[in-house]
Chains A and B, each alone.
Chain A
Amino acid sequence: MMGAYALNIMQGLGYTMALFMLSVMLGAVISLMLLWGSMSPHPTRQKAAWLCGAVIRGLPELVLIYMVYFGITALLTSWYGDYTEIHPFWAGVLALGALFGAYASQVLRSGLQAVTTGQVQVATTLGLSPQHIFWHVTWPQGLRFALPGLGNLALITLKDTALVSLIGVADITYRAQIAAIQTERPLLCYAIAALLYGFCTVCLGFTGRRLAHVL
């Protein structure tokens, strides 16, 4: 019986990885939007980007997940007049993506600020346009500075996927909980889950190092 449950826990790896990758992809889009807003010359955009980032960063991960899942479900139900829920998987993607995006925008901003002003001044003296300076001087170097921080954020997001098990996404943690209850072998079941998460983090760390090498 334990073998079947162990296999079931391993099958949760697909959900966890899908959740992680989609969250990071959504988070990348959100972080660029917030970065664009915070670097915009318009005070309204700046304030809106700051407010969005500050609110999301100020909320505990679990509260945000519950807000997205139960909040959107309540809104949809009142809108359609019949019970309509956002799928727990997509609620998880939205919440984790928003969290990744809010933090990543700050990491990217600090990376861009780490590029010395002297280089921008030289580029300006050479007659490059502001867009040209950003895309060919500031952005490549800023991204390189931000990469270690982004890698850490990705690791945190991977581990935060476990929280989504609380709204019923059948990821590694959810399946390990069920297996621990049914088999009465919690140590073994959670050890399998820990090994899978460990495998994922090692792979992610390796990918991060390769990416840093390429950039």
Chain B
Amino acid sequence: MNILSAFFTLFLSCAFAWGRPVTDFRFASEATYPPFVILDAKGHVGGDETDMIRKACDQGGLQCSFSHAPWDTLLAGLRMGKFDAIYGGLAITPERKRHVTFSEPMHTSNVSLVFPCHQPLSWHDLAMQHVGLQQGVTFLTHLKAESPAAQLHTYDSIQQAFLDLGYQRLAGVVVDAPVAQHWLDRTSDHHDNFCQMHHPEITQNYGVAFRPQDTQRLMLFNKAWQKVFHQP
């Protein structure tokens, strides 16, 4: 019997998910979206948002673990209970609020268009231009409505879009402003001829998403967050 239970524990990775305390949080993100989330050489998830969440967890007495998962599996994983919360440049939008509950906004930012400085682009001049975006971003809908003739290409990771921008397969990349700035700073030694332009209207709040029915964890997280970042 012991051998059988040991086998099942080994075989099923989530046997430990049953009966977990509510202070146990499994966070997941698509961790190739720096500076919000990054995956280091050892496979550990880091980045600005991860650091902020970790700080809130420490102060709020929550046991938090962080993992990387492909973007298109995050929402399904959250719904099915594989993760307790997802984050990583996750904009709070009315569309997403229909499926998940968001924490208090962690930060706010604009959306940027990155392009080669010698071939300037503008937000109103994207018709027939090849533009790259991260799969699943909410401003895709906005962009489609604003520039219906733009050739939009979605990528699993925004870093792949930046690679294509470097190889001149794309005329521009639309991305959250901090991500654009991070890429421009990081690659300034060999990509010094790229510019960025903020969108005049789109401003997004970013938060952590929870299952709608998981109100206890949401409450605990918001409490921990307020304790750390909203104290006078």
Contact = CB atoms under 8 A, between A and B. Distances in A.
A8 B14 contact: no
A186 B80 contact: no
Nearest to A87: B13
Nearest to B34: A182
A181 B32 contact: yes
A182 B39 contact: yes
B117 to A, nearest CB: 19
B72 to A, nearest CB: 11
B159 interface: yes
A184 B162 contact: yes
In this complex, the member of A88, A170, A175, A181 whose beta carbon has the largest number of chain B beta carbons within 10 angstroms is A181
30 contacts: A4-B40, A5-B41, A8-B41, A76-B12, A80-B18, A82-B17, A82-B18, A83-B14, A83-B17, A83-B82, A84-B15, A85-B12, A85-B82, A86-B12, A87-B10, A87-B11, A87-B13, A90-B10, A90-B11, A175-B43, A178-B32, A178-B39, A178-B43, A179-B41, A181-B32, A182-B32, A182-B39, A182-B40, A182-B159, A184-B166
Given A80-B18, A83-B81, A181-B32, 19 more contacts: A4-B40, A4-B41, A7-B41, A77-B80, A83-B80, A86-B13, A87-B10, A87-B11, A168-B69, A170-B43, A178-B39, A178-B43, A181-B160, A182-B32, A182-B39, A182-B41, A184-B162, A184-B163, A184-B187
Contacts of A83: 14, 17, 80-82
Given A85-B13, A178-B32, A181-B157, A1 B41 contact: yes
A77 B80 CA distance: 8
A90 B14 CA distance: 13
Interface in A60-93: 76-77, 80, 82-88, 90
Interface in B36-86: 38-43, 69-70, 80-82
A149 B70 CA distance: 37
B17 A86 contact: no
A184 B40 CA distance: 13
A153 to B, nearest CB: 25
A83 B83 CA distance: 9
Contact of A182 (B11, B14, B38): B38
Residues of A contacting B: mostly: helix
Contacts of A76: 12
A99 B159 CA distance: 34
Interface of B: 10-15, 17-18, 32, 38-43, 69-70, 80-82, 157, 159-160, 162-163, 166, 187
Nearest to B73: A168
A24 to B, nearest CB: 19
A194 B4 CA distance: 39
A188 to B, nearest CB: 13
A157 to B, nearest CB: 21
Nearest to B160: A181
B30 to A, nearest CB: 11
Contacts of A85: 12-14, 82
A154 to B, nearest CB: 24
Contact of B159 (A7, A175, A181): A181
Interface in A1-57: 1, 4-5, 7-8
A83 B16 CA distance: 10
B42 A82 contact: no
A206 B11 CA distance: 33
Contacts of B80: 77, 83
Contacts of B157: 181
A181 B43 CA distance: 13
Nearest to A185: B163
Contacts of A86: 11-13
